[in-house]
Structure 1
Amino acid sequence: MNEQELSQRLTVVGNAVPKGARLADIGSDHAYLPVALMLVGKISYAVCGEVVVGPFQSAQKQVVKSGLADKIVVRLADGLAAIKKEDEIDTITIAGMGGTLITSILENGKTQGQLSGHERLILQPNVGEANVRRWLQKEGYEILTESILAENDKIYEVIVAEKTVVKSQLTDKEIFFGPYLLAEKNSVFLKKWLQEQYALEKVLIQLQKAKVVPEEKVIAIKQELAWIKEVLE
């Protein structure tokens, strides 16, 4: 297995990993990413964290099969609890989960002392990207780059962030769309938000038909729709 065999989504995540990194891949799913990066000499050490026994065993098998058991450690652990101090991790990847779960993993890691704040974070939420950006801003992280890609009829975003002394404040609109993605507005971005517009319009119709209309929710959706229409113009 080499880097070329990674999915496009994981290739984008892997591209953001610095050369020589000591990587923690949380929710590693067969350890594909750390194995691919190690085989091309991009990383020097990796920890794969899995909370479910099946994927943990799959990751172990993949690492052994690739002859990398001395360089990649697989641990059965919840979130960043897979990281030990002696690992000296400087890069964390969390890919393929919801944004709310990613933020709770990061928050727990911070509380429990596994997240020092010196790591590069490479995050690929499947949904709830704004939750991730909001958490990063609150915790003093600067978004360095963002990517958006379509693969197998799904659209994915990858967010790369590090803590900085001086950080730029994102607007609510930038948190919603992503500051770099909003500036670029590529074809995948436009496709995503056209789909989101249709979905939100349907939700709005349903909410307005409800016996008790949740006014706050309606106001929030109307605001989002106004932003989307502005961006798509």
Structure 2
Amino acid sequence: MNSNQLSQRLKAVADFVKDGETVADIGSDHAYLPCYLVKAQKIHKAIAGEVVEGPYQSAVKQVKQDELTEQIDVRKGNGLSVLSPGEVTTVTIAGMGGPLISEILENGKDRLEGVKKLILQPNISAVSIRHWLLENGWQIKDEKILEEDRKIYEVILAERSTVRQPLSQQELLLGPILLKEKTSAFITKWEHELIQLRNIQKQMEMAEQSSSLTEKKKQLEQKIVLIEEAIK
């Protein structure tokens, strides 16, 4: 992977970016995504944010190498703290866990002023992102699920909305759009997840019972039912 040839995962994120948007890529790593978007002439300006020194230096180096220092501003800082309100129209966050992405969004709410679009690619627990979006005035407009190197990734596109999006527990867990489309990657992901959940269920059956365990068992059973209904 490089700034000319993205991984399928990052390409799916890039495909959700429309021409002329101003993008902040948070946790940008090598800044491959913003470099790719500028070189493809999809966008003219981008910010690459990175909190860790090593990846920050890699991003600086990549942007220089691609001769894009005029168009891409690499900034060091935690999450959305690298942004000023109104600076960008689109924020991308890819390659982290869903709870961490939600935390970044929550902690940087004040920096999201003027942002119309979020493109989020969690490695795990997309459900926590959907919960956050629902609670904070964002609507899920599109989703994609794909398999790459034996891993399955989900990409969520959300836009600001004044109307609260009604999502069922099943839609929150599995994704409202992914649930409708039910692609082969979707089925594979949730079949695999079911196997793991049933194993946990067996272990719980064997464990000493307590009120907290009973509650966890109930939640687990509900989750299993939601998945079974979706993929049967």
* TM-score by shorter chain over 0.5: yes
Deviations 1:127-160 (A, max 9, x none): 0100000100011111000000000000000000
Determine whether 1:180 maps to 2:181: no
Residue in 1 aligned with 2:18? 18
The amino acid that maps onto 1:118 is V
In the alignment, residue 34 of structure 2 is paired with which amino acid? P
In 2, distance between residues paired with 1:117 and 1:4?
Answer: 29
Hey, what's the Cα distance between the residues in 2 that align with 1:232 and 1:167?
27
Deviation at 1:231, TM superposition (A): 1.5
Q: TM-score, normalised by structure 2?
A: 0.95
Select 1:202's aligned residue among 199, 202, 210. Answer: 199
- Checking the alignment, whether the CA contact within 8 Å between 1:141 and 1:164 is kept in structure 2 is yes
Check whether the contact 1:204–1:221 (CA below 8 A) recurs between aligned residues. yes
SS of 1:25 mapped into structure 2: strand
Write the letter of the residue equivalent to 2:151. K
Counterpart among 139, 142, 145 of residue 139 in structure 2: 142
Mapped to 2, the partners of 1:4 and 1:30 lie a distance apart of 12
Helix, strand or coil: the match of 2:112? Answer: coil
Partner of 1:79: 79
Q: Does 1:193 align with 2:227?
A: no
- Structure 2 counterpart SS, 1:161: strand
- 1:122–1:159 CA contact under 8 A, matched in 2: yes
Pairwise CA distance, 1:2: 7.4
Task: List per-residue Cα deviations over 1:190-232 (Å, max 9, x = no partner).
Answer: 0000000000001111122222340111001101111111112
Percentage identity across paired residues of the two chains: 47
For 1:159 and 1:207, locate their aligned partners in 2 and report how far apart those are by CA, in whole Å.
Answer: 33
Residue identity opposite 2:44 in structure 1: S
Look up the match of 1:222: 221
Question: 1:162 corresponds to which residue?
Answer: 159
Structure 2 gaps of 5+ residues are none
C-alpha displacement at 1:119, in angstroms? 2.5
The one-letter code of the counterpart of 2:56 is: F
Superposition TM-score, scaled by structure 1 size: 0.95
Q: Distance in 1 between matches of 2:145 and 2:4?
A: 19
Match of 1:116 in 2: 113
Equivalent residues, number: 230
Unmatched runs of 5 consecutive residues or more in structure 1: none
Which AA in structure 1 matches 2:187? L
Distance in 2 separating the partners of 1:2 and 1:191: 28
**Contact 1:98–1:127 (CA under 8 A) maintained in structure 2:** yes
